Amino acid sequence: MKARDLATLGVAQVPFDAKVKDVVREMVKAGVHGVAVVSEDGTFMGVVEQEHILEAMDPENPEEVLDLPVEEVMDEEPAIVDPEDDLETVLRLMKDEGVTRVFIVSCEGRPVGVVSLTDVLRVVSEEG
């Protein structure tokens, strides 16, 4: 099974010049825990996940995080797989990187899908 077969196609995304409040809005709208950050031409630049926002929050003034630029909280080196990578490669990357989702990026550098640990577990349980 290939990454493209496991993936949820389409990726919630925000532009690089967005604020954290835009990320939160997109997460809520899409019902996801992370969004891709893209350049003007749609090139994948990184990811912002809930954990990144939590890390940047000040417990005494949590709302201040909303005005931060995306670049201050995003992960610029998220886990990425090729659409043709197999299940073993995807799972190995998740384990090695300690993540529960990996992004599929096209040869043009655009985010096209996400494979979550839930997607992997669904396939494993169906095969088992």
Which CATH number covers residue 31?
3.10.580.10
Residue 49: predicted pLDDT: 94
The tens digit of pLDDT for each residue in 69-80 reads 999 999 999 999
Both tokens of 109, joined, read 């550098």
Residue 121's pLDDT band (cuts 50, 70, 90): very high
Domain that holds residue 58: 3-127
Q: Which residues lie below 8 Å from residue 108, measured CB to CB, with a gap of 6+?
A: 43
Q: How many domains does the chain have?
A: 1
Residue 126: predicted pLDDT: 87
> Does residue 128 have a pLDDT over 70?
no
The model carries a pTM of 0.89
Both tokens of 55, joined, read 């890390």
Determine which helix (DSSP H) or strand (DSSP E) holds 119, and give its type and residue range.
helix 117-127
- Average pLDDT on 79-84 reads 94
What ranges make up the beta strands (E) of the chain?
8-9, 13-15, 34-38, 44-49, 80-81, 101-105, 111-116
